Chains A and B, each alone.
Chain A
Amino acid sequence: MKRSIRILAAATVALSAGTSAVWAQTAEDVVAKAKDEGVVVIYGTNSIPQVKAHFEAFKKAYPKIEIEYTEISSSPLYTRVSSEIAAGGQTADVAISASSELMMKTAKDGNALAYDSPALAKVPAYNGYQKMVFELETEPMCNLFNTKALKESDLPKTRADFTRMLSDPASPLKGKVTMYDIELSGVGFSALFRDSKRDPEFWSFAEAIGKARTTFLSGGYAMAEKVGSGEMSIAYNIPCQVLSALQGNSNIGFFFFKDYVLMTGQYALITKNAAHPNAAKVFVDWLMSREGQQLYGQMPGVYPVMPGVKNLDTTGLQAKGVSTEGPVLDEGLLQVLDPVIRPGFIKQWKDAVAKGRAESRP
């Protein structure tokens, strides 16, 4: 009896080793050193409830590695990591942020560690900026609507529809639409900038936003709150991750435009001179492992980056055959940090909105 259990146990070990061999596997010596380091220090933009499931599972997989997590939003995160490295002081081992451009900038500044993660071999070509910034999950940019104010059939189908509805002087959406203040939110800026490249009628849309006397806010959750309460009817262009905080809220629905869906995501990097580089590697690899990816797949509105990982497909995009691949992390994405392009775009946007606003009465 004892013997058979042992055989069974051995078989299980062999089996699990067999499956994980298909998946990214951190080199053994790295794992051993990581266990000696005993801790991985993380700065991340996600709130603790959002990262909890991952941390608990990681601790089960690597009981010898403790996690120290500090929540901090993307711009202060960049500032802290770069200041701390410049001072030669203690900083995070791993940074996780929703701002792809600030993560890439950190890498460009020379503050990230290049790591030839075994996971890179497993992922589509778009992942991994110079082997320094790794995409962990992707999220579509969705639009939220108040289900008591608008019926599904009232919703605009395309961006052109939306522009038309916003421009109508008698529009019920007047004063009822909210979107990111691109001067305060990096995520909001990037999404809108990418819109301007994709949408041929973008500048009419900008004027229509002004005509509808849109309210600009700094955070996705603040917008969701206003849509939920009915103060606003539509929130435009929010990373779908907010859906996880909206479970059980029957007041809020989400929708996409048919013309295209923008994708964004969460990104990780290991810092240069990380105090616990091996633990950092183990952690990042684990986030991109089957287990880490499956947990992302369980989050509403979030998609794993690894192909073939089961996920909830909360948004139904995959069922409709829409790709949920993230944006390519390349120099093109870094345009949003260009010292001429960025302020120029902000000005053009504000002027167009102001022009639309001037044409409409409250």
Chain B
Amino acid sequence: MIARQTTIWAAILVVILPLGMILYQSVLSAPFFSPEAELTLGAFSFVLTDPEFWAALRRSLVVAVGMVAIAVPLGAIFGFLFARTDMPGRHMLEPFMLIPMLLPSVVLGFGYTVSVGPAGFMSKWAEGMLGFTPWNIYTTTALILIAGFAVTPYVYLYVATALRGLGADIEESARVSGAGLMRIARDVSLPMIKPTLIYCAVFIFFLGIELFGLVLMIGSTSGYDVLTVYLFKLTNRMGVPSYHMMAAVVLLMVAMTLPLVYWQRRMLQSSDLYVAMRGKAARNKPLPLGQWRWVACAAVVAWIFVAAFVPLSGILLRSVVTHWGPGVDLVQAFDLSSLRQTFTEPAVRRAITNSVLIGVVGGLGAVVVYAALAIAAHRHSDPAVAALDYVMLMPRAIPGLVIGLAFLWVFLFIPFLKPLRPTLISVWIAFMVVYMAYGIRLVSGTLMQVSPELAEAARTCGSSAGRTLTDITLPLIRNGLLTSWLLIFLMFEREYATGVYLLTRGTETIGAMIVSLAESGDVGLLAALSLVNVALVGIGLGLALRLGVKING
């Protein structure tokens, strides 16, 4: 009991530390470490009376809500198709569903400009065939669509995992009673995973609020300043970074998590409704799609084409040419030096090693932490659990660069943490906190399906709480944990902005390097490095799948 509470409060503390730094900074007039700093609410009153803030907020809300409206239904349908039906090609297509998650959003945006931008090679093909380009990616609609597609895999993963964990017996009864496929999906399967869907909506909303790289590549071309862009402009308004302004905007973004988490908790008050893994084994039989089989398959392939193939082909092309565009002979521009550089440059090689280390070992460590927290919070509703629910989503609402800076301050100014800063552990802690909401949800999604009666049975037979955990609960969620490890590996491998401030020689990661290159460097090398990263993640994914890890628990 005490161990349980301590685990949760310790995690809350780790999240609160950087948030506390930001809070403290937001009520000062200068950097908190400067002797000139005075207590003031000036930053808040400036921001709240700045019409540009409100305009940016409105745009961010449009983008975030738009992303939820696209990603949640689409991801839910895909999850249902993959987990529950006999859609052809579902085993082969499954790894491709994850590709959009593997690209940092700035790289994703860049990939789209190379393939379907105004000078993109696909745009030129379309123009050659139709006489005009039927799309323009520099519009708000395109931005929302691209961003929505890019986050669809999160929903797909959560939904497919949740559905696979459910026994198929209820759907089977519905079918026997004469319900059609649509009816089963709408009235049985999806309502069963309502908690997952609600959680997805909240999670995607915050990915939308925090969206930056993609807006910078696509949106800002049309002058579309969302909250994150406003944040960076405001921070740089004085030339010297104004941390108090930055902190104030970030806190306002964080404040938006509160009502949403409150709503989510209210909706999910009785998680017992959603138990499906009971003491009795259930057989999972895929629902026949009938004549819809190929339509469903075509829809999935079309989505993979737009969300994964289009941007990836742009990045691939850019990594092997010196230049591109209409009228360029790509054979003549062909050049492998960028790709070669990624393998010969020692710093890049170090970054690759570090990223693998962070992804594999760090990912495992993070899963252990998330599992401990998920188990500690599972089926409890004390103040600690409530606090964790609120706190863990907060870092998700903060742009990676800012939370990275907050962590730099934590490791600089909290004396006993100082030795950690030049090590990879600092990067790991920052990543672990940023992905806490995502990771705990992965584990608790699995946990929620384990009926309490199983553990209760063990306890009735005289087993201790610890023994129940090791002999009943953990074996039941073992596959779910392996899957979580794989999915956390993917995220840590891809994470970029958070590492920028913690980057030193020895702690380089591919992601942080990509950010630096995007700003100050060679675009060919940026494309090549992104490609290498995708390949690396692909290898990890392939290896894990071969070893029997399932993408959906």
Contact = CB atoms under 8 A, between A and B. Distances in A.
A310 interface: no
B322 A70 contact: no
A343 interface: yes
Interface stretch (A24-32, A135-143, A197-205, A211-219): A211-219
Interface stretch (B269-277, B367-375, B438-446, B512-520): B512-520
Interface core residue of A79, A90, A342 (most chain B CB under 10 Å): A79
Interface string B505-534: 100100001001111111111000000000
A219 B518 contact: yes
A49 to B, nearest CB: 6
Interface string A205-237: 000000000011111011011101111000000
Contacts of B422: 90
Contacts, number: 165
Given A47-B520, A339-B238, A69 B325 contact: no
Interface core residue of B324, B335, B508 (most chain A CB under 10 Å): B324
Contacts of A186: 236, 239
Contacts of A68: 504-505
Contact of A76 (B238, B239, B501): B501
A229 B413 contact: no
Interface in A243-258: 245-252
A49 B338 CA distance: 10
A71 to B, nearest CB: 5
A140 to B, nearest CB: 19
Given A84-B412, A251-B328, A71 B516 contact: yes
B300 interface: no
Given A70-B504, A249-B322, A250-B323, A75 B409 contact: no
B421 A245 contact: no
Interface size, B (range): 35 or more
B34 interface: yes
Contact of B323 (A84, A183, A219, A251): A251
B325 A231 contact: yes
Contacts of A8: none
A49 B519 contact: no
Contacts of B518: 219, 222
Contacts of A105: 239-240
A184 B520 CA distance: 14
A49 B335 contact: no
The 5 nearest A-B residue pairs measured at CB: A47-B521, A229-B325, A86-B33, A87-B412, A249-B323
Given A219-B520, A231-B325, 14 more contacts: A47-B522, A50-B521, A70-B504, A72-B503, A73-B519, A76-B501, A87-B418, A105-B240, A148-B327, A222-B523, A229-B113, A229-B325, A245-B521, A336-B239
11 contacts: A48-B347, A48-B348, A69-B347, A83-B31, A148-B325, A221-B520, A245-B524, A249-B323, A251-B325, A337-B239, A343-B237
